Amino acid sequence: MTLQNGRVIWIVLDGVGLGALPDAGVYGDENAATLPHVAAACGGLNLPNLQQLGLGGLAEIAGVPPADAPCGVYGRLAEKSSGKDSIIGHWELAGVVVDKPFATYPQGFPSELVRKFAGISGLQPLGNVPAGGISILKAYGAEHVRTGRPILYTSVDSVFQVAAHEDVMPLEKLYDLCRAARVLSDEYDIARVIARPFIGDPREGFRRTPGRKDFPVPPPQATLLECLNASGYTVSGVGKISDLFDGRGIDRSVATVGNDDGMAKIVAALADLDRGLLMANLIDFDMVYGHRQDAFGFGRALEEFDAWLPQLFNAMRPDDLLVICADHGCDPTTPGSDHTREYVPALFWSKAMERGTSLGDRQSFADIAATLADYFRISGKVAGESFIRLLGLACAVNS
């Protein structure tokens, strides 16, 4: 096999949906439209670079009308898998469709699971409630420091989260506890066990540290990342990509502490990539703004991402391909703080593109995986339908 010399920079804007999917009512999300609602709440957004890539042609976004002559290839993707969490969204983007969502525990975990967890930790956990990362520390941080009991909590996602003070439970001990909990949680169909270390004291307040570590269930079959890796391409992950895929198919991984750090590390990782895929997740849209229902912060973060894009454009080679998409919605203007079942944008751009064009609506996130499999000329089987010829990149089309 002759390897494709180009590089793909694939950026997932976590939670940046475009509007409710036809089945959104099943999930209680029939009124969701993350990006349009954020733009309206902000009185319009200034996103000239995304606009030129075609974003304005995908939805009515205040301040972002359709470009007269978009330079990118643009469309909307529908989610085929059941569910609306980050793992399922990323798996489908990478070519794996699942028909059953992971279990969530909005009332806390079953007593039998908590009993087993207490058995491996040696202490009865505190909490066992759905909560945000800051509120759980305010509620139980002081008692944890006093007693050493780990803090157990969940969220609207399928996550089993364990928080511990780094002076009370060293990082490696917390990680070992979460590895053991991963084995326990498998029978309860939980997607991720997450170690949530923190520091501080009751008087000055507690704060989380960058030592977070995820222990996810692995994808049920080979993803595009594994197919690329097996075919001799380098795959680099920036942000939580490695966590979402259990590290499978990823040669290099760098963690991030927010969008600004993530954008800087994308450029740095690209400079180190000779040939292959760089896949990044920018988490702040979802974690910092969507779940906390901060539409103005969400809009500001989108404008900051757009303003950064020319730096990425300048770092790209003529045969590089840029892909920008999302994994689900997280509408900060609708009731609750859950993810939302929405269409997501798909924007493609390369200096080698001859013209922009519309993809219309695609039936699966996995169409990106199928398209990139064709771009790299690999034979690994992934779900989805390729639209490689619509990209206008003759050098990337299979002969």
Query: 244 and 376 in one domain?
Result: yes
Residue ending a domain, choose from 190, 215, 240:
215
Which pLDDT score is estimated for 4?
73
Query: 41 and 78 in one domain?
Result: yes
* Residues 184/221, Cβ–Cβ less than 8 Å: no
pTM of the model: 0.92
227-247 average pLDDT score: 95
Q: What's the number of domains the chain is made of?
A: 2
Q: Range with the lowest mean pLDDT among 78-87, 203-212, 390-399? A: 390-399
For the chain, give the longest Cα–Cα distance.
67
Helix (H) or strand (E) holding 35: helix 34-41
304-311 average pLDDT score: 98
Region for residue 241 given its phi and psi (left: phi exceeds 0; alpha: psi -120 to 50; beta: otherwise): alpha
Query: Is the pLDDT higher at 185 or at 2?
Result: 185
Which pLDDT score is estimated for 322?
98
Backbone angles phi, psi at 241, to 5 degrees: -55, -50
Q: What tokens does 133 get?
A: 């990362």
Which residue(s) pair with 161 in the sheet? 153, 194
Which pLDDT score is estimated for 133?
82
Which residue(s) pair with 196 in the sheet? 163
The answer as to whether 360 is a domain residue is: yes
Which pLDDT score is estimated for 1?
53
Q: Write b or e for each residue in 239-272: b if 16 or more Cβ atoms lie within 10 A of its Cβ, otherwise e.
A: bbbbbbbbbbbbbebbbbeebebbbebbbebbee
Which pLDDT score is estimated for 398?
38
Residue type, 101: P
The answer as to whether 106 is a domain residue is: no
The answer as to whether 30 is a domain residue is: yes
Strand pairing report for 159-165 and 192-201? parallel
Query: Is the pLDDT higher at 135 or at 297?
Result: 297
pLDDT tens-digit series, residues 6-25: 899 999 999 999 999 999 99
Which pLDDT score is estimated for 2?
60
Under the banding of pLDDT at 50, 70 and 90, the label for residue 395 is very low
Residue ending a domain, choose from 176, 191, 215:
215
If you average pLDDT over every residue of the chain, what do you get? 94
The answer as to whether 304 is a domain residue is: yes
Query: 44 and 59 in one domain?
Result: yes
pLDDT tens-digit series, residues 273-295: 999 999 999 999 998 999 989 99
The answer as to whether 105 is a domain residue is: no
The answer as to whether 191 is a domain residue is: yes
Q: Write b or e for each residue in 304-313: b if 16 or more Cβ atoms lie within 10 A of its Cβ, otherwise e.
A: ebbebbeebe
- Cα pseudo-dihedral 87, 93, 95, 98, rounded to 10: 40
pLDDT tens-digit series, residues 368-387: 999 999 999 997 789 999 99
Angle at 288 between CA 189 and CA 249, to 5 degrees: 50
Query: 340 and 231 in one domain?
Result: yes
Q: Could you tell me the CATH number of the domain that includes residue 47?
A: 3.40.720.10
Does 399 score more than 70 pLDDT? no
The answer as to whether 2 is a domain residue is: no
Query: 388 and 244 in one domain?
Result: yes
DSSP letter (8 states) at residue 76: E
Angle between helices 295-315 and 34-41 (to 10 degrees): 110
Q: Could you tell me the CATH number of the domain that includes residue 171?
A: 3.30.70.1250
Which pLDDT score is estimated for 155?
85
Which pLDDT score is estimated for 396?
44
For the chain, give the percent of residues with pLDDT over 70.
Answer: 98
The answer as to whether 331 is a domain residue is: yes
> Secondary structure of 118-179 in the HEC alphabet?
HHHHCCCCEEEEECCHHHHHHHHHHHHHHHCCCEEEECCCCEEEEEEECCCCCHHHHHHHHH
77-96 average pLDDT score: 96
- 183 is in which domain, residue-wise? 111-215
Residue ending a domain, choose from 169, 197, 215:
215
Q: Which of 95, 97, 81, 96 is nearest to 376 (CA)?
A: 95
Residue with tokens 């942000």, as numbered in its chain: 239
For the chain, give the percent of residues with pLDDT over 90.
Answer: 85
